[in-house]
Amino acid sequence: MPDDAMTIDERYTTATHTSNMRVQADKRGDADVIIAAGWSPSTIGSALLRLHSEWDGAEHPAKGAATYQHEFKLLLGKLKSLPDVREQLTLQADKWGMDKPGHVAASVLMWWLDRVCPVCHGRQFEGIDNTPMLSKIVCPVCRGSGEREFPCGDDGRRLAVFIDDCLARARVSIKQRLHNR
pLDDT tens over the chain, length 181 residues: 555 677 767 666 666 666 666 766 667 666 666 666 666 666 888 889 889 888 988 888 887 777 888 888 888 889 999 999 999 999 999 999 999 999 999 999 999 998 999 888 899 999 888 888 999 999 999 999 999 998 999 999 999 999 999 988 888 876 777 776 5
Pairing of strands 125-127, 134-138: antiparallel
pTM reported for the whole predicted model: 0.74
Residue-range domain boundaries for the chain: 3-180
Are 61 and 68 in contact by the 8 Å Cβ rule? The answer is: yes
Nearest to 31 by CA among 19, 46, 43: 19
Give the pLDDT score at 172.
80
Are 161 and 136 in contact by the 8 Å Cβ rule? The answer is: no
The Cα 159–Cα 17 span in angstroms is 29
